[in-house]
Amino acid sequence: MSATKVTALGRLAGLTALAAVLVGAAPAALAVPSFARQTGMACEACHTVFPELTHFGRVFKANGYILSNVKQVQDVTGKREELLSLGQNVPLSIMAQVSYSDMKTGVPDLAAAGAPGVAQNGTAGFPQQLSLFYAGKIAPNFGGFFQITYANDSGTIGIDNTDLRFADTTLLSDNSPLTYGLSLNNNPTVQDLWNTTPGWGYPFTASNAVVSPLAGAAIDGAFAQDVAGLTGYLYWNESLYAELGFYRSAKQGQTNELTGGAGPLDGSASNVISGAAPYWRLAYEYNWDRHSLEAGVYGFDIKLFPGGAPGAEVPLSGPLNRFNDVAEDIQYQFVGDEHQLTLAGTHIHESMKLDASVAAGTNPTDNLSTTRLWATYYYRRKLGGTLAYFSTTGSTDPGLYPAAVTLPSGANPGVIVSANASPDTRGWMAEVNYLPWLNVKISAQYIAYNKFNGGGSNYDGVGRNASDNNTLYLLLWFAY
């Protein structure tokens, strides 16, 4: 995924990641062909169309990505205990996204202070993203999904979604399977089995060259690749799923002023988790005929030191900002040979208690709710599309959603602000996809905003309308 989810405004607001998560910015990650090479099975076993999982794909993931149907290089003890089991195919994959993004109306050019202009509209990403994966079995009960990504917004290579799993399955007295495991991952919900939670929810990818709304909940990708979490889970009879775990800050590129090393985290780091943030998940899936229905709840409770930045350090002590997220999700799938239909959605409610930021001008408490609903249809996994609705509403808070960004020149370009201090954003997404082959997707996506950062017209106070941010996004997406 694009690592940058924090806008300049977010940094100015001092609640960076939390105030500036791109609504609907889902990771551009996916199923990878290395799984197919390892299992010897076609993509359709685990996916309707990548990256959406089928029931079999969910079970494969819960079991740690280790199902292997290739010859193994092995080592054993004298008691025939396995010390090593390496598939003879290395489970590597590459993935590329090449894109073109065009907003309905261009944005101001801030490069030349005092010389107003308009930035060029229509951005080619070549690539928008290029990723290398190790995805598959590592040891008999240990598998992983590593993603290393070059992203064109940062121009650097960095860690992307990662999920390391230990898992095993035992048979209970009634012969029902109970899968149990641990996930060590860097993005809350990236380990989840359903495509409803933010880590793998719709949209599966989005432009990184457009204007993004100000607000997003903590669990909605704000801490992707910024944390390390260890969770434990139980998956009974391939239907009932329960998970509990904790996340701690794991900053990338952060340097301790004293040690000169990667830690300990100090006041030059922003939004540092105090202690460990609990994550929980409960879901039930019922399968019949070619249908699958899942309903679940999940949540994240995180307390943060606002911290600072190099040169503007703030001690990691004192009051904390707390973000308590509780969410529901639901997914229906029909997986036929000819037709594939998915109806899914999630609702995230966040309660904020901003003890650490209230002195800087935020409300002491805020609420934020995000809803996403989508319907996806494919014909023969070749031609299909998605229609989605998204909505974010919440408390007005000038400290979180400021009315102006003041440039050194004194000008306020608007665009990424909210004139009425509201996070409310609402709109639709429509996407058409064509897959000439199962690992190659050609997409055209359009996002239409009815409301953006609190308003439909002149939402920024300098004349920009929500619809000016409507975006056409063309994408070539493939993996091998």
Nearer to another protein, 12 or 70 (CB): 70
Nearer to another protein, 72 or 154 (CB): 72
* Run of H or E residues at 103: strand 92-103
How many residues form the binding site for another protein (CB under 8 A)?
45
Nearer to another protein, 283 or 314 (CB): 283
Whole-number Å distance between alpha carbons of 461 and 445: 28
Nearer to another protein, 174 or 317 (CB): 174
Give the x/- contact pattern for another protein in 204-243, rule: CB under 8 A: ----------------------------------x-----
With the CA atoms of 12, 18, 19 and 21 taken in that order, what torsion angle do they form, in degrees rounded to the nearest 10? 110
**Residue found under tokens 């004139």:** 419
For position 171 contacting another protein by CB under 8 A, the verdict is yes
Query: Binding another protein by CB under 8 A: which of 4, 11, 12, 55?
Result: 55
**Neighbouring residues of 427: CB distance < 8 A, sequence distance ≥ 6:** 389, 390, 391, 447, 448, 449, 450, 451, 452, 466
Whole-number Å distance between alpha carbons of 410 and 291: 58
For position 56 contacting another protein by CB under 8 A, the verdict is yes
User: Which of 70-78, 192-200, 382-390, 471-479 is the region at the interface with another protein (rule: CB under 8 A)?
Assistant: 70-78
Find the angle CA(125)-CA(48)-CA(158) to the nearest 5 degrees: 35
Tell me the closest approach of the beta carbon of residue 177 to another protein, in angstroms: 5
User: Which of 66-74, 91-99, 220-228, 409-417 is the region at the interface with another protein (rule: CB under 8 A)?
Assistant: 66-74
For position 44 contacting another protein by CB under 8 A, the verdict is yes
Whole-number Å distance between alpha carbons of 52 and 376: 10
Whole-number Å distance between alpha carbons of 222 and 200: 14
For position 405 contacting another protein by CB under 8 A, the verdict is no
Any idea what DSSP says for residue 18? H
Tell me the closest approach of the beta carbon of residue 235 to another protein, in angstroms: 10
Query: Binding another protein by CB under 8 A: which of 115, 288, 317, 410?
Result: 288
Burial, 253: exposed, middle or buried (Cβ in 10 Å; 0-12, 13-18, 19+)? exposed
For position 80 contacting another protein by CB under 8 A, the verdict is yes
Query: Binding another protein by CB under 8 A: which of 290, 312, 379, 380?
Result: 290
Q: Which SS3 state, helix, strand or coil, does residue 119 take? A: coil
User: Which of 91-99, 153-161, 254-262, 286-294 is the region at the interface with another protein (rule: CB under 8 A)?
Assistant: 286-294
For position 45 contacting another protein by CB under 8 A, the verdict is yes
Q: Which two tokens stand for residue 102?
A: 């065009």
For position 60 contacting another protein by CB under 8 A, the verdict is yes
For position 182 contacting another protein by CB under 8 A, the verdict is no
Query: Binding another protein by CB under 8 A: which of 179, 187, 324, 342?
Result: 179
User: Which of 63-71, 127-135, 260-268, 343-351 is the region at the interface with another protein (rule: CB under 8 A)?
Assistant: 63-71
Output 404-412 pairs: Cβ under 8 A, ≥24 positions apart.
404/461, 405/8, 405/9, 405/12, 407/110, 407/113, 408/113, 409/113, 409/114, 411/113, 411/116, 412/461, 412/462
Nearer to another protein, 256 or 287 (CB): 287
First to last CA, the chain: 17
Nearest to 207 by CA among 406, 22, 19: 22
Give buried/exposed letters for 43-54 (b at 16+ CB in 10 A, else e). bbebbbbbbbbb
For position 193 contacting another protein by CB under 8 A, the verdict is no
Tell me the closest approach of the beta carbon of residue 352 to another protein, in angstroms: 40
Peptide bond into 306 cis (omega under 30): no
Q: Which two tokens stand for residue 104?
A: 């309905």
For position 20 contacting another protein by CB under 8 A, the verdict is no
Query: Binding another protein by CB under 8 A: which of 4, 12, 70, 124?
Result: 70
For position 140 contacting another protein by CB under 8 A, the verdict is yes
For position 261 contacting another protein by CB under 8 A, the verdict is no
For position 339 contacting another protein by CB under 8 A, the verdict is no
**Which residues are at the interface with another protein (CB under 8 A)?**
39-42, 44-45, 55-56, 59-60, 62-64, 66-72, 74, 76, 79-82, 85, 140-141, 167-169, 171, 175-177, 179, 238, 287-290, 335-337
